[in-house]
Chain A
């Protein structure tokens, strides 16, 4: 259940970085120089599936590779804007003192990305976005914001690793303790559970061989755990689907 708006956000804790903090800093994608899609980046390639994160700049890099004197040219695409810390809290707290890694995901706003599927994001229908509701004028001062926070979403598919020093001093907002679980649920859903496939996606399963069925710890409303059905096609490509298939503890198939 989503926390009510007034306690969805809070000011970040001064002492430490935590999951759900929002900071203003650089984030990036390391890219090949050519031969792949141009986005995310240019506004003209943004659409319902490709978010627009605002102004970016590409930095060409020459990378040494083992076994050859030829350098690979890569491009580091860098943005500056809001990111949300998605790094797990225990990983942050118990990390080695020399460990500077911090996973963050960029935040995209409705203003910058009007072509985004915002209805679906608000409904939490899309696994790859975590919705961030807007604040009102009245709420902004209580969160130490000069202007209201706009409606936005965390783009989990652009999660990247930055240095902690780039994030900690530049945090501006944080999820409240009550709303943090919904972020964690989104992260789990994005990386594992996903969602319901379309009829077309289901039809793509025809012809694949079932090679394993594993019970998961996930449940849907009701007593039945979900099961993972692991598939493989004729080329050996693996795939998996999660099915609502009640399995009795006794091992006898439900209804069987």
Chain B
């Protein structure tokens, strides 16, 4: 970080300490889902409370057709400078003033130690028309299919019991917070599933500390997005020097026996649902060997 950036961040921290005296009152913020916030009231809310640090992910802006609002990629990060703080507020106002979508939800994100006098960071999620049209039940089912998770295994991801998951899958209402989490989880898993078999999506979900499954359970979408990016980003080409060191396969020589056992087990075990044979299918070519051998046998 440059000296100027350090000074800028220090200034921001001091400013926030001085200007954010009280935690957010839970009754005042976040607003209830579906309550339409007009531009002035939202502006007042933001400025009056002063404890909600708001960012709008660039992708959501894209969905709301506010194409002329441009955010630099680093604007999505938290704590990168006073200018960001001012900009993100401005962007929020800008978005609301167009009244393209006025439905807001706010989700506690994380507490910054240096923001000791604020309660938490908040993420301002804008429900785009597309978002409002999403079907949480269908997407919950999709989460299960993408990673081959049973309803019992889906429950912990969303802090719910198996019974609740069954109820949701049967079409019972899902509360707003869970709905938002399902959408986030589905988007993350879909990106991963586009690059691998469902068996490996499940492996990815449980891999690491914290694992992506833990991040979903914590609703830590920023870290989850980073985990998705890390596992789907293009492979970097090796330089000449590096290549020499990578040519030995399995250089740390793991014990082959467990690998062999697991691989052969997977090879011999029926997997998930597979396509059925088509009754009308005929091979395009036939070696004729089968008939020939049958004739010989006869």
- A residues whose Cβ falls under 8 Å from a Cβ of B: 24, 41-48, 52, 54-62, 64, 73, 76, 80-82, 107, 109, 111-115, 117, 120, 123-127, 145-148, 150, 152, 163, 165-166, 169-170, 172, 189, 194-198, 201, 221
Contacts and interface: CB of A to CB of B under 8 A. Distances in A.
Contacts of A58: 194-196
Interface in B241-273: 247-249, 256, 259-261, 263-273
B3 interface: no
Contacts of A61: 234-235
Interface stretch (B6-14, B81-89, B159-167, B280-288): B280-288
B200 interface: yes
A59 B287 CA distance: 37
A113 B274 contact: yes
Contact of B270 (A111, A147, A148, A198): A111
Contacts of A52: 271, 274
Given A43-B197, A54-B199, A62-B235, 11 more contacts: A55-B266, A57-B196, A82-B264, A111-B269, A112-B271, A117-B277, A123-B293, A126-B286, A165-B249, A194-B285, A198-B284
Nearest to B256: A170
Contact of B282 (A44, A80, A150, A198): A198
A254 to B, nearest CB: 20
B288 A81 contact: no
Given A47-B278, A60-B232, A147 B268 contact: yes
A169 B250 CA distance: 11
Given A55-B197, A81-B266, A125 B290 contact: yes
Given A125-B283, A165-B248, A54 B289 contact: no
Given A109-B268, A147-B264, A166-B249, A56 B289 contact: no
Contacts of B270: 111-112, 114
18 contacts: A24-B260, A46-B275, A55-B196, A55-B199, A81-B263, A82-B267, A109-B268, A111-B267, A111-B268, A111-B271, A112-B269, A120-B283, A125-B286, A147-B265, A163-B249, A172-B260, A172-B264, A197-B284
A81 B267 CA distance: 7
Contacts of B292: 221
B276 interface: yes
B230 interface: no
Contacts of A54: 197, 199, 266-267, 271
Contacts of B289: 123-125
B290 A124 contact: yes
A126 B283 contact: yes
Interface of B: 194-200, 232-235, 237, 247-249, 256, 259-261, 263-278, 281-294
B43 to A, nearest CB: 42
Contacts, number: 157
Contacts of B197: 41-43, 54-57
Nearest to A74: B234
B235 A127 contact: no
A216 to B, nearest CB: 16
A76 B293 CA distance: 41
Nearest to B260: A24
A43 B266 CA distance: 14
A170 to B, nearest CB: 6
A109 B34 CA distance: 53
Nearest to B192: A57
Contacts of B264: 24, 82, 145-147, 172
Contact of B288 (A112, A166, A195): A195
A62 B238 CA distance: 12
Contact of B287 (A43, A76, A124): A124
Instruction: Return the 4 tightest CB-CB contacts between A and B, nearest first.
Output: A123-B290, A195-B287, A55-B197, A57-B196
A109 B273 CA distance: 15
Contact of A80 (B237, B263, B293): B263
A146 B267 CA distance: 14
A125 B287 CA distance: 5
B261 A146 contact: yes
Q: Looking at B235, B260, B276, B283, which has the most chain A CB atoms within 10 Å of its CB?
A: B283
A114 B274 contact: yes
A95 B269 CA distance: 38
